[in-house]
């Protein structure tokens, strides 16, 4: 059966992939973003009813993160509008080990709409599409918490799992924690990428205050700096996140992609080719 599905954050890391997969299956997909028509903006709830009109299912990603102030109120308001518009299913992308995110999860699960929570922490694609790409290109990776390990999950695996939840049965009320098959530190990730690319990558462990100061010197916004500091302290260093689960295999019936396979595929694409010296 073809469904009307709203993908909030439909141009982002997970939303874009989910929208593409749902569209390929023939579902009617509405992209929820500021640039879409009708436009969706977390800061302008007056526009939400038009975006949710006629939608049966909604995939929710909150930007920039469920941990930031105001997220709980926004999620609660969204679930109220979704209920008024007759939405039948909500799937929330949540953060592993984030107290604030878990509060948002309970709001969604208690919304009166069939809901599923998908938790993830750090993505493989953080090194190819996001904030850790530039250091890889420059050849010098300087990061704090050098030996803290995370079960990096591939964004394509998460998208496959989300699509299965949105289009399948038996997922109501479930909380899935999606991980890759093994734990890796920043030091080990850098070594994996160096091996896949054949490049010499230097890893330099630094303190968190040094990393924060470096972001300030680059002129990054204070709210982004706060979020990065939060992710390093509350998420990466959280023992609850240093666990490999079998939830991807439970949902999809196959193992998750290993970081080494991701690194080989990404290296072949040329994304990690060294930046030419100016």
Place of tokens 């399948």: 168
Query: How much is the pTM?
Result: 0.94
pLDDT tens digits along 166-187: 999 999 999 999 999 999 999 9
State what percent of residues in the chain have pLDDT above 90. 86
Note whether 61 and 155 are within 8 A (CB).
Answer: no
If we measure between CA atoms, which residue out of 104, 95, 120, 58 comes closest to residue 248?
A: 120
Mean pLDDT of the region 80-91: 98
* Alpha-carbon gap, residue 31 to 9, rounded angstroms: 7
Looking at 38-70, list the stretches that DSSP marks H as alpha helix, in order from N- to C-terminal side. Answer: 48-52
**pLDDT of 108 over the 80 cut:** yes
Cross-strand partners of 123? 153
Predicted confidence (pLDDT) per residue in 97-106, tens digit: 788 899 999 9
What's the token pair of residue 213?
């100061």
- Residue carrying the six token digits 């023939």: 26
Residue-range domain boundaries for the chain:
4-124+153-179+240-257
pLDDT (tens digit per residue) in 118-177:
999 799 999 999 889 999 999 999 999 998 999 999 999 999 999 999 999 999 999 999
**Looking at the domain 4-124+153-179+240-257, which fold is it?**
Rossmann fold (3.40.50)
Give the confidence band of 239 by pLDDT, cuts at 50, 70, 90. Answer: confident
* Whether pLDDT at 278 is above 60: no
What's the pLDDT band for 276 if we cut at 50, 70, 90?
Answer: low
């Amino acid at each position: 059966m073809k469904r009307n599905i709203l993908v909030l954050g439909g141009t982002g890391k997970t939303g874009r992939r989910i929208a593409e997969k749902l569209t390929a299956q023939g579902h009617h997909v509405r992209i929820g973003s500021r640039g879409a028509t009708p436009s969706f903006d977390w800061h302008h709830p007056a526009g939400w009813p038009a975006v949710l009109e006629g939608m049966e299912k909604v995939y929710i990603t909150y930007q920039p993160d469920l941990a930031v102030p105001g997220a709980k109120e926004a999620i609660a308001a969204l679930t109220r509008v979704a209920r008024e518009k007759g939405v039948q299913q909500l799937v929330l992308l949540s953060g592993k080990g984030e107290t604030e995110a878990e509060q948002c999860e309970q709001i969604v699960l208690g919304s009166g709409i069939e809901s599923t929570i998908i938790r993830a922490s750090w993505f493989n694609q953080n090194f190819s599409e996001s904030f850790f790409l530039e250091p890889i290109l420059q050849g010098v990776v300087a990061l704090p918490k050098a030996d803290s390990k995370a079960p990096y999950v591939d964004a394509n695996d998460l998208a496959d799992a989300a699509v299965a939840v949105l289009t399948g049965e038996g997922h109501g009320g479930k909380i899935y924690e999606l991980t890759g098959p093994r734990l890796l530190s920043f030091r080990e990730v850098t070594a994996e990428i160096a091996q896949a690319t054949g490049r010499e990558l230097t890893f330099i462990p630094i303190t968190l205050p040094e990393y924060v100061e470096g972001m300030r010197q680059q002129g990054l916004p204070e709210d982004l700096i706060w979020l990065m500091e939060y992710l390093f302290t509350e998420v990466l260093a959280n023992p609850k996140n240093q666990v490999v689960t079998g939830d991807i295999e439970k949902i999809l019936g196959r193992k998750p992609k290993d970081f080494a396979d991701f690194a080989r595929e990404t290296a072949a694409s040329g994304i990690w080719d060294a930046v030419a010296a100016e």
